[in-house]
Amino acid sequence: MTDPALQPLVAAARSEARLVGVGLTDARSMRDVIWAAFREEVAPWADLDYGQEVRGDAVARRLTEPGAPPPDVLVVANPAHLAAAGLLEAHEQPYGDRYPAGWVEANGAWAPLYVQPVVVVYNGHHVPVPPSRWEHMGDPGRAGKLVFEEPWAMLATGPALAELSAVLGTAAWEELLRGMAGGDPLIVADNERSVLEVATGSRHTGLSNWNVAVRVRAASPVRHVFLDPTPCIPGFAALPAGGSSPNLARLFLAWLGSPGGQRAYAATGRIPAMPGIDAPTEMSRVLPSGVEPVFGAVDWLRDPEPWVERYRATFKAPRAPLRRGKMGGF
Amino acid sequence: MTSTDASMAPAPPLLEVDTTYGGIYAGTSFEFSQDVADHFNGAARRAGHVLPGEYVPFEAGEYFSIACPMAASYPREEFVAAYGQLRARVDGELEFVLADHPRLFSNSTEDWRRIRAVPTYIRKSEVPEGFFGAVHRVELFQGDAPLFGPVERFFHTATSGCVFSHIEDAPGKLVVEVGGNLDALARTGMVVFFTDPVFGEPLGATQVNEDRSIVPLPYTLLGKDHVGDLMLFNEGLVRGVSARESRVVLELYFAQKGTGLAAALYSGHTRDTAFRTDATVL
């Protein structure tokens, strides 16, 4: 039986049979797990056309391409730019009050879906003792052997460092950034590449979101460690203006934010953003004892630009295109 | 060489393609990093006895290969001259003069002065959009003489076949992880390895299954690839690879620690992380 909180949206959505989505979540998880649960619980008439896209600028292009309708739903790391540009519409969030206040947009322009703890990944062959404090990531001994995803893209590394600024204190945080930047880090396009570089041994230590760090095979030399506190960065859903199936999109987004949708996200191995969801990946079950999460300590979400500028000024952007971990055809 | 010298030079021999493993391989996909381009280009600058027409510099980018194994080995001078006459024709209309593109000559294991095979690497940007991920008809000519084909070969995208994901440093060995569509690997069971002479010749190979069981696999040294008189890598073939799981993990064992070139390839795509210049046997 459909969640009663979603019923008001069902009737209008019935005349729309196809949803186009794009975003951070990998296509297999979205199609085979999340959408399959949505069809079973809510909308058996509907089909999904979904493609993964990590880069925020590529998503923005999809929303502004002349002659092509925008996708109906988005999963993005930083929706504030899109909302500020008038590219998003508010959508119903019947369970919005169950989420941490800092992740919910008051006007309903975006909604948190899942949480990515940012962890340190290291190569067990090369690093016998992993870092135990964030300050260690800037140690001179890691020079030339450090890798992380581009902070100024505000996907995971950027927001994580921003959150840490509030808990480390200004001096320690500045020192951390200087140390990381001074060690000639390899800056890559995504967390998958960060883990890949550590797996080879070309880089010994890196940052990654936990969701990616745990995908390695059992005998991989890649290990990960949660540092205290662990920045927890959400991924967000949003409703683009002008999509072809706006009512189906509203229903899908409302369901994603409901306990049913959150359980489906948890079934992909991700941490659901709604606290208290009974799933093995509920945040309190993932973080080790003694490690506290940090989120919402600073407002990198609504106003990312000062952070972007700071990271661009601190870290040297490579001239060559950034190396990617996710595979794409060419 | 002066024009008089050229007129006196003997005609290059007509090459004969080895058909043991099916003749010409074509369509394997590669991602060459700037490090790999610098590695080979630097070796070519340092090497002695580099023949005119032997080396074309690499640039970073995406490539596909057309590889010609020979039925016999040929003296370097003769082979390089004959190679300069090779043309590959694809679908009867696309034509590639192989000598215009980067290549790595594979020399005999017994005598580096003889060449037994050559893969040529052609930039993916040189073919029309939509070319990859499909079967194409390939023919090889030496001058106007047909050498091999026409045969059908699949030209891979980065995701259409096996994806050689990465090579890991490890104590006494290197570890390669292969994913993607493993159908071709399941059919042939073969993986080619390039490994730096700094590691010594590989001692053997194993496959590590997901249940942690370990299966020994035969390793055959095929060639010692050179530019001029400088050895670039040992080229070898591991056979008997089983591809029943969603990924394949192979280990290649070495006697010597060191850091150098290592690559793994076959029917599919080799990522830059599986074609490394800093692979390290710990």
What mean pLDDT is predicted for residues A34-45? 97
Say whether residue A128 is in contact with chain B using an 8 A CB cutoff.
no
Proportion of chain B above pLDDT 70, given as a percent: 96
Q: What is the pLDDT of residue A13?
A: 97
- Give chain A positions within 8 Å (CB) of B38: none
**A132-157 residue pLDDT tens:** 999 999 999 888 999 999 999 999 99
3-state secondary structure A294-316: ECCCCCCCCCCHHHHHHHHHHCC
Q: Is the pLDDT of residue B7 over 70?
A: no
The nearest alpha carbon in chain B to A201 belongs to B169
How does the average pLDDT of chain A come out, rounded?
A: 93
Ranking A214-223, A316-325, B97-106 by mean pLDDT, the lowest is A316-325
pLDDT value of position B6: 47
Tell me if chain B has a CB within 8 Å of the CB of A196.
yes
Question: Closest Cα of chain B to A33: distance in Å?
Answer: 19
What average pLDDT does the segment A102-109 reach? Answer: 89
- In this predicted structure, the answer to whether residue A83 has a pLDDT above a threshold of 60 is yes
Mean pLDDT to the nearest integer, B46-70: 96
Cβ <8 Å between A126 and B169: yes
Average pLDDT, chain B: 94
Interface residue A199 vs chain B (CB under 8 A): yes
Q: Assess B168–A contact: CB distance below 8 Å, yes or no.
A: yes
Question: What sign results for the dihedral spanned by CA atoms B33, B37, B38, B39?
Answer: positive
Region B110-128: mean pLDDT is 96
Weakest-pLDDT range from A183-187, A260-264, A295-299, B63-67:
A295-299
Average pLDDT, integer, range B160-171: 97
Nearest CB to B168; choose among A201, A218, A330? A201
Q: Are A327 and B158 a contacting pair at CB < 8 A? A: yes
Which A residues in the span 96-125 are in contact with B, Cβ-Cβ below 8 Å? 123, 125
- Nearest chain B residue to A219 by CA: give it: B212
Superfamily of domain A117-232+298-314 in the CATH hierarchy = Periplasmic binding protein-like II (3.40.190.10)
Cβ separation of A200 and B158 shorter than 8 Å?
A: no
Cβ of B59 under 8 Å from any chain A Cβ?
no
H-helix or E-strand containing A99? none
The mean pLDDT of B165-172, rounded to a whole number, is 98
pLDDT computed for residue B3 by the predictor: 44
Segment A105-111 shows an average pLDDT of: 91
Residue B22 confidence (pLDDT)? 86
Q: Is B170 on the interface with A (CB under 8 A)?
A: yes
3-state secondary structure of B18: coil
In which band, very low, low, confident or very high, does the pLDDT at A330 lie, cut at 50, 70 and 90? very low
Nearest to A240 by CA among A110, A72, A22: A72
**Do B168 and A202 lie within an 8 Å CB cutoff?**
no
pLDDT beyond 70 at A328: no
CB B254 within 8 Å of CB B174: yes
Report the pLDDT value the prediction gives residue A239, as an integer from 0 to 100. 97
Q: Please report, for chain B, the start and end positions of each structural domain, with discontinuous segments joined by +.
A: 3-155, 162-281
Q: What's the confidence (pLDDT) of residue A285? A: 93
Give the number of other Cβ atoms within 10 Å of residue A259's Cβ.
Answer: 17
> Who's near B169: CB < 8 A, 6+ residues apart?
A123, A125, A126, A200, A201, A221, B279, B280, B281, B282
- Whether B4 has a pLDDT exceeding 50, the answer reads no
What are B143-155's pLDDT values in tens digits? 999 999 999 999 9
- Least confident segment among A58-72, B97-111, B182-196: A58-72
User: A68 at the B interface (CB within 8 A)?
Assistant: no
Q: What per-residue confidence (pLDDT) applies to A255?
A: 97
| Residue A56 binned pLDDT confidence (cut-offs 50, 70, 90) | confident
Indicate the range of A64-68, B35-39, B177-181, B247-251 predicted with least confidence: A64-68
A127 in helix, strand or coil?
coil
Which residues fall within 8 angstroms of residue B273, CB to CB, at 6 or more apart?
A196, A197, A199, A200, A202, B165, B166, B167
Q: The domain at A4-115+233-286 falls in which architecture?
A: 3-Layer(aba) Sandwich (3.40)
Could you give the CA distance from residue A169 to residue A249 in angstroms, rounded to a whole number?
A: 42
Is B38 near chain A, with CB under 8 Å? no
Average pLDDT over residues A173-193: 95
H/E segment holding residue A81: helix A80-84
Q: How confident is the model at residue A101 (pLDDT cuts 50, 70, 90)?
A: confident
Query: For chain A, which residues make up each domain, given as ranges?
Result: 4-115+233-286, 117-232+298-314
Quote the pLDDT of residue A2: 80
pLDDT class of B264 with cuts at 50, 70, 90? very high
pLDDT beyond 90 at A253: yes
Q: Which ipTM score applies to this complex? A: 0.92
